[in-house]
Amino acid sequence: MSGQAVILLLGGGGREHALAWKMAQSPDVAAIYALPGNDGMAAIAKVKCIPGDPASVSQVLAAAEELKPALTVIGPEKPLAAGVSDALAEKGFAVFGPSSAAARLENSKIFAKEFMTRHGIPTAGFTICEGIEAARAALSGWNVEAEGVVIKADGLAAGKGVVVTDERNMAETTLHDFMANPECSVKADKVLLEKKLSGKEVSAFALCDGEKFVTLGYVCDYKRVRDDDQGPNTGGMGGYAPQDWPSESARNFVDENIFARVVAGMKEEGAPFKGILFAGLMVEGDAVSVIEFNTRFGDPETQILMPLIEGDIVPLLSRAASGALADEDKVTLKKECAVHVVMASEGYPETHGTGMTLGQKIELPEGLLQRGANDNEMLFVMGARNRDGQWTNEGGRVLGVTALGASMEEARRRAYSAIDAITFRGAHWRRDIGQ
């Protein structure tokens, strides 16, 4: 890839903003076209936002035919499920993102659980339920109060399709919401009932080329909307990169028994995995179990990892896309702590049509968007718009700040200092990220 390379980046959230911010630092990259991008990404010198639906095969192919990108990077999950990666590959474009067949690891939680069973990948015990009556019958035999239960909608649900509870009424309500309530944003014909694991959650990331993988890093995120893990699940309210945890032996276990087995298993099943493999894990001591897989960079995990990565990530993405990762390839992370805090709109997460307070003026500190690779606080835009210099909130998760520091305390102080300087009506955020 030469210094005149063009990259096509699909998506328009904070994850894609962080990817654009990092890739724009590469001397190999002349321009990044973000489809559709957002106004935060548009503030990056090498980035141009172009209109379009990233999950539309025809629109993405038209953009690729015009731009002739050296690499297309797919951010969100919907384009993967829609077969955008397959369509690009068929036309001869290098694409960083799995095929729709490989993306089933995320698109169907049932496929993922059955795949893990076939390939000896550690995960919680589960029951598959098709239809609400079968789900209610299975739940009636579940010792919810004593052991808890995890209920997962089978398909994509924007981070809102999982409920963990030890209250039977909540479990029954969740089944109704997911499978029969027209006002609930989660729609599922099939659900998983899963045993509740004990331990601490962490997300692990690996770049895969179909045969090899390179471990990218680990992030702890916060899904519940309020402090102390209260309230409903969200797409993610923030997170941090843990230092010296999980243990080296646990990380080796993840490499050998999870990442390696997924890559080998997907190749064996005729769907080689190329792209980013995101494993949600439960860790207790050195024991590790998979909660779920995602097949793309996470949001807000990407906003935590990208500022920590030393050097140029573009050559690695390019080699993974072309099936050419080398044995010596590795990712080096800065010896700093990273904390990311998300600001959300009033009413978020909206799961039952309650509405959110949008269109509110946002006051931002001058220069926060123009931070470079070595700055301590970086702003990434999720659901905000800039018109004639005035920012407004246009989505549930509006923006997030990543801060680096020599210690977790320093990173937290910097992150919250920046967040406290940003204001809009109805804004809310967690105060316990990284504690």
Q: Are residues 21 and 131 in the same domain?
A: no
Q: Is 324 helix (H, G, I), strand (E, B) or coil?
A: coil
Considering the domain architecture, whether residues 231 and 281 belong to the same structural domain is answered as: yes
Residue whose C-alpha is closest to residue 425's, from 392, 378, 401: 392
State the amino acid at position 38 in one-letter form: N
In this prediction, residue 343 carries a pLDDT of 98
82 and 61 in one domain?
Answer: yes
Coil/strand/helix, residue 60: helix
Q: How far apart are CA 391 and CA 358, in angstroms?
A: 11
Are the CB atoms for 204 and 254 separated by under 8 Å? Answer: yes
* Cβ neighbour number for residue 410 with a 10 Å cutoff: 16
Rounded Cα distance, 432 and 435, in Å = 6
Crossing angle of helices 14-23 and 301-308, rounded to 10°: 10
Q: Is residue 46 part of a domain?
A: yes
Taking only the tens of pLDDT, the chain with its 435 residues reads 666 899 999 999 999 999 999 999 999 999 999 999 999 999 999 999 999 999 999 999 999 999 999 999 999 999 998 999 999 999 999 999 999 999 999 999 999 999 999 999 999 999 999 999 999 999 999 999 999 999 999 877 766 788 899 999 999 999 999 999 998 888 889 999 999 999 999 999 999 999 999 999 999 999 999 999 999 888 899 999 998 899 999 999 999 999 999 999 999 999 999 999 999 999 998 899 999 999 999 999 999 999 999 999 999 999 999 999 999 999 999 999 999 999 999 999 976 666 899 999 999 998 888 888 788 899 999 999 999 999 999 999 999 999 999 999 999 999 999 999 999 999 999 999 999
Closest residue by Cα to residue 412 from 379, 435, 428: 435
Q: Is residue 359 part of a domain?
A: yes
Final residue belonging to a domain, choices 194, 217, 242: 194
Q: Flag whether 122 is in a domain.
A: no
Same domain? 206 vs 317 = yes
Q: Angle formed by the axes of helices 132-140 and 168-180, to 10°?
A: 170
Cβ–Cβ under 8 Å, residues 380 and 397: no
Residue 266 near residue 102, CB atoms below 8 Å = yes
How far apart CA 220 and CA 246 sit, in angstroms, is 11
Same domain (yes/no): 170, 204: no
How many domains are contained in the chain? 4
CATH of the domain at 186: 3.30.1490.20
Structure token digits, residue 392: 């407004």
Residue 272 belongs to a domain: yes
Which residues constitute the domain of residue 93?
5-97
DSSP assignments along 150-202, one per residue: EEEESS--TT-SEEEES-HHHHHHHHHHHHH-TTSS---SEEEEEPPP-SEEE
**Residue 410 domain-assigned (yes or no):** yes
**What's the rounded Cα separation, in Å, for the pair 67 and 5?**
10
Q: Please tell me whether residues 13 and 51 are part of one structural domain.
A: yes
Residue 346 and residue 286 share a domain: no
Nearest to 19 by CA among 304, 242, 295: 304
Bridge partner residues of 85 (DSSP): none
Residues 37, 80: one domain? yes
Q: Are residues 221 and 307 in the same domain?
A: yes
CATH number of the domain where residue 397 is located: 3.90.600.10
Rounded to two decimals, what is the model's pTM?
0.92
Chain centroid offset of residue 173 CA: 27
- For residue 386, being part of any structural domain is answered with yes
pLDDT in the model for residue 291: 95
